[in-house]
Amino acid sequence: MKLSHFNFNLPAELLAEFPAENRDESRLMVIDRAKKTIEHKMFKDIINYFDDGDVMIMNNTKVFPARLYGNKEKTGARIEVFLLRELNAEQRLWDVLVDPARKIRIGNKLYFGDDDSLVAEVIDNTTSRGRTLRFLYDGSYDEFRNKLTELGETPIPKYINREVTPEDEERYQTIYAKVEGAVAAPTAGLHFSKHLMKRLEIKGINFAEVTLHVGLGTFNPVEVEDLSKHKMDSEELFITQQACDIVNNAIQNKKRVCCIGTTSMRAIESSVSSARTLNPFEGWTNKFIYPPYDFSIANCMVTNFHTPKSTLLMMISAFCGHDLMKKAYEEAVKEKYRFYSYGDAMLII
């Protein structure tokens, strides 16, 4: 398959700027792969598709406030610094993106906070917008991390063309987020409310948690027509023995195994045994799933509606079947479903 197979016309007004008022009251499109049917529901109706012993695999990564604004020494120019990943805790080295990048060179210093209590020095260039920064801060490592949290803001995606609100801090985070390390939310999970989780639990649905720290690579545009030439950024992944036991037990008992989001799907497909069961994992993955692809573990998934030509859409095409995916997306545009991070959801069974 080629990149051009994943293009479609997405009206700008369908990109959701704000989340639904209540997490579990966004819309839910249900696609049945065997019957080739499409139904329109509310997200909380998802409970009707699962039974006792079924498993949902959730990504429990937690988004940290990765977007900082500093001022360049001498000129005072305002510079956005987006924290990507910590390279060395002891030396306080970070991989970041800077904007506007043309103004930021090796040796420059950036000052953060009204009192300039945090300073960073540019020590390397990594990509056109990428830099390595060394943070200079008088205090312990914990105090330094607290300072980053205090100065940073919730990294809602760039296409959301508005200021960050206090509400974003809560809503751009799943209710089961635990392990800090993501710079973008695993958005399919944003639809789960505490009440819905409780109802699923009472019905006998089990939850298996994995941790994939979502990086910005998830949103990197694919710039090659031949998909086999696209390289995904690596992201840190942890799968515990406990999660494997829950999932493998469900596989053995022929239950539904549902991935909540593309990040959970990438996580589990990165650690499959020869017997097509889930193995524990600790490390990095740059797994890129596009059609044709033979999925080993999950037999259904929840996902949001993705933008044209995105790697996320390619995974959905591989899981759903390309023609059915195209039909579903045409229907979504016609029915004015809301797209992307704060948008509506899709359940593929």
Q: Indicate whether 314 belongs to any domain.
A: yes
Residue carrying the six token digits 């509506």: 344
pLDDT mean over 199-216: 96
pLDDT per position as a tens digit, 266-301: 999 999 999 999 999 999 999 999 999 999 999 999
CATH number of the domain encompassing residue 109:
2.40.10.240
Other beta carbons less than 10 A from residue 196's beta carbon: 19
Total domains present in the chain: 2
Query: pLDDT class for 338, splitting at 50, 70, 90?
Result: very high
Alpha helices in the chain (DSSP H): 141-151, 166-171, 194-202, 241-252, 262-269, 311-320, 322-334
pLDDT over threshold 90, residue 82 = yes
Would the pLDDT of 46 be above 90?
A: yes
CA dihedral sign of residues 219, 221, 227, 231: negative
Tell me, yes or no, whether 54 and 134 share the same domain: no
For 344, the token pair is: 């509506």
Least trusted range by pLDDT, from 27-31, 77-81, 200-204, 325-329: 77-81
- The pLDDT, as a whole number, for residue 42 is 98
Q: Which two tokens stand for residue 146?
A: 């607290």
Same domain, 92 and 222: no
Q: How far apart are CA 333 and CA 327, in angstroms?
A: 10
Percentage of residues of the chain with pLDDT beyond 70:
100
Q: Last residue of some domain: 153, 185, 214?
A: 153
pLDDT tier at 101, thresholds 50, 70, 90: confident
The answer to whether 318 touches 292, Cβ cutoff 8 Å, is yes
Tokens 């956005």: give the residue. Answer: 80
Does the pLDDT of residue 172 top 80, yes or no? yes
Do 279 and 215 share a structural domain? Answer: yes
What is the CATH number for 215?
Answer: 3.40.1780.10
Helix (H, G, I), strand (E, B) or coil at 16: coil
Domain that holds residue 38: 3-63+169-348
Cα–Cα dist 15/338, whole Å? 6
